[in-house]
Structure 1
Amino acid sequence: MKKQISLHACLTYLSLLLLTACGGSNNLVQTQVTPSLQQGWELVWADEFAADKLDLQSWQIETGGHGWGNHELENYTGRQENLRLENGMLVIEARQEKFGGSDYTSARIKTAGLREFTYGRFEARIKIPAGQGIWPAFWLLGAESATAGWPERGEIDIMENIGKEPATSYATLHGPGYYGATGFGGLKKIAQGKLADDFHIYSVEWDATQIRWYLDGQLYHQASPATVPGKWVFDHGFFIILNLAIGGDWPGAPDASTRFPQQMLVDYVRVYKRKT
């Protein structure tokens, strides 16, 4: 349906089977080889979203409608209407409806406490939604600590898009001294059309000395301890978050042009480590 199986893909499939035996995701069909496997990386964890239900050994479902620090307008739920696996993909669906005191619903999931990683290549193949006030994101957040809150524990935004800039993917680091509107960021604007027109591969490569952002394999932003305007805090475990926000300080609220429902489709999430 989505991917053609090649010899390399078969090898990747076998790797994923081994992962499953050791507690990895069991969503293992229609694997597509990415350039990572040809550039000194090896797959350590993946979710291909091929099962009937979300893998709760890898993902937590976050719920609530308290604004999430950004004055967002949605109430995140775990309902089938907002969060499901369908046709081999994760579907996060934002809807305009009254729920829990909010005018919109959507979903947000994270791997906190279940799948946390220090360094590696993180990538996802995503078809984002479109429209004013729509705010999809694929990002990493520093693991919880008794001594460090946000932004001291760090944040790596792999992909963010705001509906009023339909061709632009944003990459941002947040840490002590550079967070919120002053985060250390870059952007990539595609030459034609909107990002929502098709699937794209959003990724970062993160090691002890540098973080690099890619859109469809093209490098477009880099950060290092020497370039960020504050302390480098990217030397410990981080977890993955996928969410679809509505409204907020940055994108603004939906308007009369915004159509609902809107869907964020995630074909896969994969994590690689450098081969040794």
Structure 2
Amino acid sequence: MTRLRLLPWLAALGTLACDPAANRATKPDVPSSPSQPGAEWQLVWQDEFDGQAGTPPSADRWVHDVGGHGWGNEQLEFDTDRPENASLDGTGNLVITARKESYGGKSYTSARINSSGRFEQTYGRFEARLQLPVGRGIWPAFWLLGANIGEVGWPECGEIDIMEYRGQLPAITRGSLHGPGYSGGGNIGSDFAVSGGKLYEDFHIYALEWEPNRIRWLLDGITFFEVTPSKLPAGTRWVYDHPHFIILNVAVGGNYLGPPDSSTVFPQQMKVDYVRVYTRAP
């Protein structure tokens, strides 16, 4: 699927709209550098974001979603393909930067990249080591979207949010599923609150382990949420048995968390040390 085909479908999404009243799990003292996955996982795809400062993310791995139509969530930014909004920092990180500036009829800019047409996979472990931004109205996310969205639309294609975060609540991450009959504010998800620090203060590993009929979410090696078909609302379908692609973005505003206010400092950055995908070893 090319970007030109993908964008009209994504523009209509009610993606990443979560229910703040959903269950919340709390674990103390989450470590920032846990051990890597065990021998049961085999690495099949990765981006370590090594390269010169100012270099855009690899066109062999990533496509830019460009636009300022709100992405179905009333987001306030114009997402660009400029290095000012997404580029390598020269020290092994991709940096996605949200800026307060007039561009394309919007008051903010940021970036949103995806692996559609470059890499798509069914099942496995998807993980990213991230340092999050902070501030009211700042909304970073690491998520998966069904590669058949162009044929069946959203939410029938399935959406798996590995990590999303409200910048005004810097100790809480969220994982969730969006599918037919349980999407937008009616998604199936859980918040996870850490103690002893804030998620923007250091890098953390956000991971998803996806198997047939089972998906679990982890932060720094701690499983905080798991969903099986038995947890779906009555009469709805499990749609997580086909390839999904990866999305990384930083939104500004939107119906999940509201707009920035005078306390929000710009620019804000999400640093991505790596994205790695594994399959079960034979």
Partner of 2:79: 76
Partner of 2:198: 194
Q: 1:173 aligns with which of 174, 177, 193?
A: 177
TM-score, normalised to structure 1's length?
A: 0.86
Partner of 1:65: 68
Could you tell me whether the CA contact under 8 Å between 2:34 and 2:221 is conserved in 1?
no
Q: 1:111 aligns with which of 112, 115, 133?
A: 115
* In 2: Cα distance, 1:213 partner to 1:190 partner: 14
Could you tell me whether the CA contact under 8 Å between 2:136 and 2:168 is conserved in 1?
yes
* In 1: Cα distance, 2:36 partner to 2:167 partner: 29
Deviation at 1:39, TM superposition (A): 4.6
Partner of 2:6: none
Amino acid at match of 1:160: E
Q: 2:165 aligns with which of 152, 161, 168?
A: 161
* In 2: Cα distance, 1:49 partner to 1:67 partner: 28
Partner of 1:242: 248
- 1:130-145 equivalence runs, <5 A: 130-145=134-149
Amino acid at match of 1:123: E
Partner of 1:273: 279
Name structure 2 gaps, 5 residues minimum: 1-32
Deviation at 1:135, TM superposition (A): 0.1
Partner of 1:228: 232
Helix, strand or coil for the counterpart of 2:45?
A: strand
Amino acid at match of 1:72: Q
Helix, strand or coil for the counterpart of 2:191?
A: strand
CA deviations on 1:16-54 (whole Å, 9 max, x unpaired) are xxxxxxxxxxxxxxxx99431x25101001000002332
Partner of 1:55: 58
Partner of 1:42: 42
* In 2: Cα distance, 1:35 partner to 1:92 partner: 24
Name structure 1 gaps, 5 residues minimum: 1-31
Could you tell me whether the CA contact under 8 Å between 2:39 and 2:281 is conserved in 1?
no
Deviation at 1:191, TM superposition (A): 0.8
CA distance 1:254–1:146, shift in 2 (3 Å): closer
Could you tell me whether the CA contact under 8 Å between 2:50 and 2:92 is conserved in 1?
yes
Question: Over the residues paired in the alignment, what is the CA RMSD in angstroms?
Answer: 1.3
Deviation at 1:174, TM superposition (A): 0.3
Deviation at 1:147, TM superposition (A): 3.6
* In 1: Cα distance, 2:69 partner to 2:148 partner: 20
CA distance 1:215–1:199, shift in 2 (3 Å): same
Q: Which moved more, 1:131-140 or 1:141-150?
A: 141-150
* In 2: Cα distance, 1:146 partner to 1:267 partner: 30
More RCO (CA 8 Å, sep 6+): 2
CA deviations on 1:223-244 (whole Å, 9 max, x unpaired) are 1111122210000000000000
* In 2: Cα distance, 1:51 partner to 1:225 partner: 42
Q: 2:265 aligns with which of 237, 254, 259?
A: 259
Helix, strand or coil for the counterpart of 2:200?
A: helix
CA deviations on 1:96-154 (whole Å, 9 max, x unpaired) are 00000000000000000110000000000000000000000000000034541100000
* In 2: Cα distance, 1:92 partner to 1:35 partner: 24
Partner of 1:22: none
* In 1: Cα distance, 2:254 partner to 2:229 partner: 30
* In 1: Cα distance, 2:114 partner to 2:171 partner: 26
Q: Report how many residues are paired.
A: 244
- 1:22-37 equivalence runs, <5 A: 34-36=35-37
* In 1: Cα distance, 2:128 partner to 2:219 partner: 10
